[in-house]
Amino acid sequence: MNENQPNETNGNEPGQERGTGGRFHINIHVILLAAIVLVAAFSAYRLYKWNQGVPSDYDPNYQTTDFDIEAMDSIIPLPPDKREGYEDDGVTTILCLGDDPFSLNQGENGLAELIAKKTGATVYNGSFTGSTMAMQNPTYQDWYFLDAFSFAWVAQSLASGDFDTMRHAAPYGYDEAFSRTTELLASIDMNTVDILCVMYDASDYINMRPCDDPNAPYDPITYTGALRSGVKAIQDAYPHIRIVVMSHTFCHHVNEEGNFENGDRTDLGHGTLSHYLQKELDATMDCGVSFIDNFYGSVNEDNYLDYMTDYIHFNDAGRELLADRFVQCIFPDLSSDQ
């Protein structure tokens, strides 16, 4: 053998290994070094991007009055034991009590009529224009006949069946509707009523009725006291009736100069509109009855121009909206079919 002939049994240079098929294996240290370089480069890139931040859509000069609101509805079914022994006549009957939202613009576009149309129920309208939830005086006085048509008094009359004071006071109103509605209420068989729907606008706030008296929770001269006492009277006399309270909506107060003042920013002595709303919700929860929040859920500060004719009264669209809210909350199956 020639001493200068290459060794054919191992043709690799020192430090090289020949693999299968004549390919070379890469040294493991090279792989690790490459991985370290890649990780370091990626980390440096991410740090650079993080330092750059992201473009912001914030405009310090942009102004809006829009805000997210959530209605404070509290829908409570009537406990089944309240209807034990009660004979259902198979007809859904609703009695509406309140003031202007129900009493004004009765007819095809009236609130009670819309509820009847949307539910198919028999609906009685027992409302009185200009009345309030609370009484002005602790006892009835002829010089303020409207106390006989407050919710506190009407509910007591329905519970007792005694309508003498209401009949006595009706002529003072110089409105035949007072006597006519009083006789309607006196003629209703309350054993056939399934739902009592109560809605007063912000008349208690505007008339500066005290909102609440913690020391006298059933005092009928306070807003929530009248609500509690009236609801309790109906519950005691007719436990089978499901009671639904619809809250007031947004409105304005008209000051002495004739200017509108935002009801949720103006305290007339007993709180703003939202204060009355919260106290009304608390009272309904105390009594275990349903509450529909129209202040945030229906006609509010942002949309009132679409639904009101003036500072407090509703147009056709407003009454339609209130009727829809009632159906959505109390008859959700019917609402989904519309």
Check whether residue 44 and residue 175 sit in a common domain. Answer: no
Check whether residue 40 and residue 169 sit in a common domain. Answer: no
Check whether residue 85 and residue 44 sit in a common domain. Answer: no
Residue 128 placed within a domain: yes
Q: DSSP assignment of 41-52, as one string?
A: HHHHHHHHHHHH
Other beta carbons within 10 Å of 279: 18
Residue 14 placed within a domain: no
Check whether residue 30 and residue 92 sit in a common domain. Answer: no
Q: What per-residue confidence (pLDDT) applies to 3?
A: 45
Burial status of residue 186 (CB atoms within 10 A of its CB: 0-12, 13-18, 19 or more): middle
Residue 149 placed within a domain: yes
How many domains, in total, are found in the chain? Answer: 2
Check whether residue 98 and residue 219 sit in a common domain. Answer: yes
Is the Cβ–Cβ distance between 199 and 95 less than 8 Å? Answer: no
The torsion angles phi and psi of 18, rounded to 5 degrees, stand at -90, 130
Check whether residue 271 and residue 183 sit in a common domain. Answer: yes
Residue 1 placed within a domain: no
Check whether residue 44 and residue 149 sit in a common domain. Answer: no
Residue 2 placed within a domain: no
Check whether residue 200 and residue 101 sit in a common domain. Answer: yes
Check whether residue 84 and residue 31 sit in a common domain. Answer: no
Q: What per-residue confidence (pLDDT) applies to 18?
A: 46
Q: What per-residue confidence (pLDDT) applies to 42?
A: 78
Q: What per-residue confidence (pLDDT) applies to 338?
A: 54
The count of residues in the chain is 338
- The domain in which residue 235 lies consists of 80-337
Check whether residue 113 and residue 222 sit in a common domain. Answer: yes
Check whether residue 88 and residue 221 sit in a common domain. Answer: yes
- What is the edge-to-edge ordering of all strands in the sheet holding 93-98? 122-125, 93-98, 195-199, 242-246, 290-292
- Model pTM above 0.95: no
Residue 11 placed within a domain: no
Tell me how far apart the alpha carbons of residues 312 and 297 are, in angstroms, rounded to a whole number.
Answer: 16
Closest CA to 125 of 319, 332, 292: 319
Q: What per-residue confidence (pLDDT) applies to 20?
A: 46
Residue 37 placed within a domain: yes
Break the chain down into helix, strand, coil percent, rounded to 5: 45, 10, 45
Per-residue pLDDT of the chain (338 residues; tens, 9 = 90+): 444 444 444 444 444 444 444 454 557 877 878 778 888 777 777 777 666 655 555 455 544 444 457 899 999 999 999 998 898 899 999 999 999 999 999 999 999 999 999 999 999 999 999 999 999 999 999 999 999 999 999 999 999 999 999 999 999 998 999 999 999 999 999 999 999 999 999 999 999 999 999 999 999 999 999 999 999 999 999 999 999 999 999 999 999 999 999 999 999 999 999 999 999 999 999 999 999 999 999 999 999 999 999 999 999 999 999 999 999 999 999 875 55
Residue 179 placed within a domain: yes
- CATH number of the domain to which 305 belongs: 3.40.50.1110
Check whether residue 45 and residue 176 sit in a common domain. Answer: no
Is the Cβ–Cβ distance between 117 and 94 less than 8 Å? Answer: no
